[in-house]
Amino acid sequence: MPEKFDVIVVGAGPAGAACANVCAKNGLKVLLIERGEYPGSKNVMGGILYRKQTEEIVPEFWKEAPIERPVVEQRFWLLEKESMVSMGYKGKEWAQEPYNNFTVLRAQFDQWFAKKAVEQGALLINETVVLECIVEGGKVVGVRTDRPDGDIYADVVVLADGVNSLLAKSLGFHKEFKPDQVALCAMEVLNMPKGKINDRFGLEGNEGCSVEIFGDATQGQLGTAFLYTNKDSINIGVGTTLSGMIRAKVKPYELLEYVKNHPMIRPYIHDGEPAEYLAHLIPEGGYYAIPKLTGNGVLVIGDAAQLVNAIHREGSNMAMSSGKMAAEAIIKAKQNNDFSEVGLDSYRTSIYDSFIGKDLKKYKDLTHTFEANPQYLNEYIPLMNRAASQFFTIDGTPKREKQAKIMQSFTAGRGKLGVVKDMYQAWKVMK
Amino acid sequence: MAKTIEEKQYLVRYKADKKSHLTILNHEKCATECEGQICTLFCPGDVYKWEGDRMFVGYEGCHECGSCRIGCPNDNIKWEYPLGGHGIVFRLA
Give A303-330 pLDDT, tens digit per residue.
999 999 988 889 999 999 999 999 999 9
Res A1 pLDDT > 70 = no
Predicted ipTM beyond 0.95: yes
Res A226 pLDDT > 90 = yes
| Confidence tier at A259 by pLDDT (50, 70, 90) | very high
| Confidence tier at A403 by pLDDT (50, 70, 90) | confident
Q: Can you say whether the dihedral through the CA atoms of B63, A188, A214, A71 is positive or negative?
A: positive
Whether residues A176 and B83 touch (CB distance < 8 A) is answered with: no
First to last CA, chain B: 18
| Confidence tier at A120 by pLDDT (50, 70, 90) | very high
Contact list in B for residue A235 (CB cut-off 8 A) is 93
Q: Which of B48, B67, B69 to mutate to test the interface with A (most CBs of A within 10 A)?
A: B67
Res A100 pLDDT > 60 = yes
| Confidence tier at A427 by pLDDT (50, 70, 90) | confident
Kindly state the average pLDDT of the residues A246-257. 95
Residue A30 in contact with residue A9, Cβ under 8 Å? yes
Q: State the pLDDT at residue A132.
A: 98
Contact list in A for residue B65 (CB cut-off 8 A) is 164, 184, 279-281
Give A176-210 pLDDT, tens digit per residue.
999 999 999 999 999 999 999 999 999 999 999 99
| Confidence tier at A2 by pLDDT (50, 70, 90) | low
Q: State the pLDDT at residue A77.
A: 96
Q: Give the closest of A42, A45, A106 to B88, CB-based.
A: A42
Kindly state the average pLDDT of the residues A163-173. 97
Q: Give the closest of B5, B45, B89 to A41, CB-based.
A: B89
The mean pLDDT of chain A is 94
Q: State the pLDDT at residue B1.
A: 64
C-alpha distance from residue B9 to each of A47, A57, A108, B6, B37 (Å):
20, 35, 21, 5, 21
Q: Which of A234, A280, A306, A316 to mutate to test the interface with B (most CBs of B within 10 A)?
A: A280
Q: Give the closest of A36, A47, A177 to B70, CB-based.
A: A177
Residue B1, chain A, CB below 8 Å: the answer is yes
Range from A145-154, A393-402, B7-16, B62-71 carrying the lowest mean pLDDT: A393-402
Q: Give the closest of B11, B36, B82 to A276, CB-based.
A: B11
Give A267-303 pLDDT, tens digit per residue.
999 999 999 999 999 999 999 999 999 999 999 999 9
Whether residues B84 and A127 touch (CB distance < 8 A) is answered with: yes
Q: State the pLDDT at residue A27.
A: 98
Range from A61-70, A134-143, A289-298, A400-409 carrying the lowest mean pLDDT: A400-409
pLDDT in tens, chain B (93 residues): 678 999 999 999 999 999 999 999 999 999 999 988 999 999 999 999 999 889 999 999 999 999 999 999 999 999 999 999 999 999 998
User: Residues of chain A with pLDDT > 70: what percent?
Assistant: 100
Whether residues A276 and B85 touch (CB distance < 8 A) is answered with: no
Kindly state the average pLDDT of the residues A163-167. 96
Res A417 pLDDT > 90 = no
State how far residue B77 is from chain A, nearest Cα, in angstroms: 13
> What distance in Å separates the CA atoms of residue A92 and residue A223, rounded to the nearest whole number?
30
Residue B41, chain A, CB below 8 Å: the answer is yes
